[in-house]
Each structure stands twice: as structure tokens, then as C-alpha cells.
Amino acid sequence: MARSTTHLQKHLNKPGGLSYHDLVETTRTLIVGGAETTATLLTGLTFYLLNPHRSSFNHSPRETLNTLTTLLRQTFNSASEITVAAIQTDEMAYLKACVNEGLRLFPPLPGNLRRIVPKSGKVIAGKLVPGGTRVAVDVLSANLSAENFTLPDGFYPERWYHELREPGQFFERDQCQVVKPVSLISCLSAAFFGFGQVMLIMAIVLSWSS
């Protein structure tokens, strides 16, 4: 039986192709860095869309899910129309806000991402920290702190709308800049696609599932 050979296999370890070492490292990045993180966020996001914790504010249960599905079904007529470019438009701000709120409540890396203070030391939060010290912010604690968010345990995509964080508005004191799901250095997905892979999957699933 004829076996199809991929471009990668044909050029492996050849001049101009990937070396075996490069292949292993790239695969590690895609699987460890890309697949589990994406799957975890999709799991959390689906949970919150199906079980919104609506203790107050002006929403009825399922309103977020209904708003999102209506937006998607009114915007796209078929799955082929849902592309990374199409879901990055201003029209899709609600989808983006849902993904951001999912990243806040269910960050795929919920612990802390350590950084080493430069040799000269650094003033952090008003205190001089000696060089060589490992420092970190606990992601989940910051994301769920009532000091940073109104109704911190609730799934409210609305808090990501700038106008609702202005004086007199419900989420006025929310500190959305606290949410750093990929830490201070940028991850490939966040930098190039704005978590486009998560938005794309969510958009396709919600557009055609009833």
C-alpha cells in the first residue's frame, strides 16, 4: 500500500529542513504549550457558559450563552465564514469578552510564573527586592480577589467593556489589567492570534449546536 509522506518527513534532517532535535522541541511547544492550555480554557469556558453564577446584576440565567449564540448565528451563515480574521472584528467583542472572562476565572496556568529579579535589585510594589530573588504573582488569587473585581466569582463578560468600568457603572472599580493569563512575556497564541484558536473553536461549536 502506498504511504503518503508529509513535507516534514521528506525534508527531515536534510539541508533546509527541520533537524530531528528541532522537530522534538517544536512538538513539545505545540503539545505542552498549545494543546493542553487551549483544551483547559475551552473546558472552563464551556462550564461557565452553561452554569453562569448569576447572584445579582441584571442578568437572567443563560443570558450570556443566548447573547453569544444569537450574535454568532446572526453574523455567520456557514462554518466556512468563521475564520480567525472574521472573529477578530469589533463585532465579535462579546466573544472576546467571554474568552477574557474565561481566562480570568479558569486560567489554564493558575499558579504562579516565577521571574528572577535582576542583579541590581528592583523596587516591586514599593519594596526593594534583592537581585536573584524569585518573585511571582499568584494568578488565581489575583483574578478572584474582591479587591480587584466586583462579584469576583461570577462570569460577567460585561466587565471587559471599558464603558462599564467608568465612574457610576456597575463594574467601575474592576481592575481587568490584573488578568495576565500568559504572564508578562507573550505567548505565541496571545501575541499572534489573540487567543484566536479558542475563539474560533467556541464560535464554530456555538453556531451550529442547538
Q: Which residues bind ligand HEM (CB under 6 A)?
A: 29-30, 33-34, 37-38, 41, 108-109, 113, 181-183, 185, 187-189, 195, 197-198
Q: Which is nearer to ligand HEM, 62 or 180 (CB)?
A: 180
Instruction: Compute the least distance from the CB of residue 172 to ligand HEM, in Å.
Output: 27
C-alpha 79/C-alpha 76 separation (Å) is 7
Instruction: Compute the least distance from the CB of residue 50 to ligand HEM, in Å.
Output: 19
Q: Which is nearer to ligand HEM, 36 or 91 (CB)?
A: 36
Q: Which is nearer to ligand HEM, 82 or 99 (CB)?
A: 99
Instruction: Compute the least distance from the CB of residue 15 to ligand HEM, in Å.
Output: 25
Q: Of 143, 149, 132, 129, whose CA–CA distance to 57 is shortest?
A: 149
Residue 128, SS3 per DSSP = strand
- Residue 159, Cβ density class (10 Å: 0-12 exposed, 13-18 middle, ≥19 buried): buried
Q: DSSP string of 15-66?
A: TTS--HHHHHHHHHIIIIIIIHHHHHHHHHHHHHHHS---SSTT--TTHHHH
Instruction: Compute the least distance from the CB of residue 38 to ligand HEM, in Å.
Output: 5
Instruction: Compute the least distance from the CB of residue 70 to ligand HEM, in Å.
Output: 25
Q: Which is nearer to ligand HEM, 43 or 175 (CB)?
A: 43
Instruction: Return the sign of the alpha-carbon dihedral for residues 96, 97, 102, 104.
Output: positive
| Residue 101 in grid coordinates | 472572562
- Residue 105, Cβ density class (10 Å: 0-12 exposed, 13-18 middle, ≥19 buried): buried
| Residue 3 in grid coordinates | 504511504
Amino acid at 84: V
Q: Which is nearer to ligand HEM, 140 or 187 (CB)?
A: 187
Instruction: Compute the least distance from the CB of residue 192 to ligand HEM, in Å.
Output: 9
Q: Which is nearer to ligand HEM, 40 or 169 (CB)?
A: 40
